[in-house]
A and B are shown apart, each in its own frame.
Chain A
Amino acid sequence: MIRSSEQSDAELLARSNNGDEAAFLLLYRRTQGPVFRFAMQMSGSRTIAEDVTQEVFLALARGGSRFDPAKGSLQSYLFGVTRNQVLRRLDKRANLVSIDEERDCGAAAGSFEAAADQHGDLARAQTVDLVRRAVQSLPVNYREVVVLCDLEEVSYEDAAAVLDCAIGTIRSRLHRARAMLAERLQFVRESAPSVSRAGDSRYVV
């Protein structure tokens, strides 16, 4: 979230709770992007992401948020609310899986490799799509740490606050999640070695 402005998120929230529309608008524009992306990367659905983003900010607009600055940043609070909303919707959707979705899920793991095999030299967009699907295929508790820490670059401390767990848990889940991703994306590495050369490594070797 943008931090260049002179006023903190908490200050803007306080002003907007007092009816300052400009403050609310600034706060919304600062925070809606990460919230929307987090919801979309977690759910894999633009529709769900839009619904969740709207719900999160409607609660904020009505002054009904239970944000406590003592417990963490507003960013962490919004991610936490977003996560709860996404999980609720995913639970509902899990009970209403269509035949097409079932077929897609069942074929998900195999389709990664099949797609890579067909297109030896993957275009960047296809690679991104494959990585997105690999992240989507992770179990929720691993997916959320990857999305928060690796995609949204939230600190481990903030991620621990969002997920209400210890920092050590974040680290171990992240490590396990990355190992799962490595397995699922191994063929991408074999097909497109330039990706790993071009990217800046997480660990400085």
Chain B
Amino acid sequence: MTCEEFISRLQALGRGESPGQEARDHAESCEACAETLTTSGHVDALLRLLARSDDGLEAPARIEETVLGAFRLAHGTANVVSMQPHAVAPAVAPRRFAYRWMGAAAAIAVASAASLVAWQSFRSSDLLPQPPVEQGAPAPERTPSPPFASRPGAAPSVRPGDGSYQGAAPGRGNARAPIIPVSTVRKPVRPVTSAPNPSADEPAEFVTDFYSLVPASGFAPTEGGQLVRLQVPRASLASLGVPIPVGNPNGSVTADLVMGYDGVAHAIRFVQPTRSSERSSR
């Protein structure tokens, strides 16, 4: 046997197979091939050490819950998913969001059930892009949704531009509803421009009402806060019981979260960018 044949024999061996008597004889007479054989055994021992060391490695338990939630969603049993805070965290960066948004995620879980109704109506009628209104013509009167209309004291303001937020004292009616819209009228944010832009009449984005995330007691008074925009995966929303109507189940939904200076998430609303705003942002 030549050295080339010895190497070929070694290369062709499967796991645990013997190179054969002929190869062993060659190794005894050839120092280089004997070294090759010994080195190969040494590398094998080291790799087995590594394999044994990694043997118990498994994916973290939260992945099982997330995957199981997706399974239940796909097979129509999403309503039995437990509302774990981490389930709301984006799949791409779970650790980054795990602690920072723990409170917000829990609050979103509470809001999700109530947002079901609002979400459907949001997608179906009011907030879809309306045909452009001629200048000078009277603006069409918007009728607030009956269940959320005329709640005294439940309209804290959100100042556009600086992202700051002022809370409102809870009204009497607020105490009854666990989740209360902050704003009683949906307000598409319209671009402030008079340039002859074909998309000037089209709102930059459509937003739902703010929904209080403070359960039962209504909207808690607060000195102020920050409006934080974030992406919530559709799968996470669905796993929390919010049905995904139409669209890419892998996508995400834009939401604005009102974070108080006390670190508590006070309210949330959902945002739908218009096509023109998406184009301009590119």
Contact = CB atoms under 8 A, between A and B. Distances in A.
Contacts, number: 170
Contact of B41 (A146, A188, A201): A201
Contacts of A29: 64
A183 to B, nearest CB: 9
B68 A61 contact: yes
Chain A interface SS verdict (over half): helix
Interface residues of A, number: 61
A189 B49 CA distance: 13
A172 B13 CA distance: 10
A32 B40 contact: no
Interface residues of B, number: 52
A202 B63 contact: no
Interface in B1-36: 7, 10-19, 24, 27
Interface stretch (B87-95, B124-132, B136-144, B178-186): B87-95
A32 B63 contact: yes
B91 A51 contact: yes
B67 interface: yes
A188 B68 contact: no
Interface string B47-80: 1111101100111100110111011101111000
A151 B54 contact: yes
Contact of B17 (A131, A152, A204): A204
Interface stretch (A52-60, A98-106, A110-118): A52-60
Contact of A196 (B10, B15, B41, B72): B41
Contacts of B95: 47
Interface string A164-205: 000000011001001001100110110000011011111111
Contacts of A200: 44-45, 48
Contact of A178 (B40, B70, B75): B40
Nearest to B7: A175
A128 B57 CA distance: 14
Among B13, B19, B95: residue with most chain A CB under 10 A: B13
A153 B15 contact: yes
Given A153-B15, A202-B41, A32 B59 contact: yes
A182 B75 CA distance: 50
Contact of B42 (A24, A41, A175, A189): A189
Nearest to A182: B39
Given A21-B72, A53-B59, A58-B235, A203 B44 contact: yes
A196 B45 CA distance: 6
Nearest to A184: B43
A135 B50 contact: yes
A33 B67 CA distance: 14
A149 interface: yes
B173 interface: no
B57 A202 contact: no
Contacts of B11: 171-172, 175
A199 B27 contact: no
B59 A36 contact: yes
A203 B41 contact: yes
A157 B162 CA distance: 62
B103 interface: no
A203 B18 contact: yes
Contacts of A43: none
A170 to B, nearest CB: 10
B133 interface: no
Contacts of A57: 63, 67
B66 to A, nearest CB: 6
Which of A62, A146, A203 has its CB near the most chain B CB atoms (within 10 A)? A203
7 contacts: A19-B76, A33-B58, A35-B59, A36-B59, A58-B67, A153-B51, A199-B45
Q: Which 4 A-B pairs have the closest CB atoms?
A: A199-B45, A202-B44, A201-B41, A61-B71
Given A63-B74, A151-B54, 5 more contacts: A29-B64, A58-B67, A135-B47, A178-B44, A186-B39
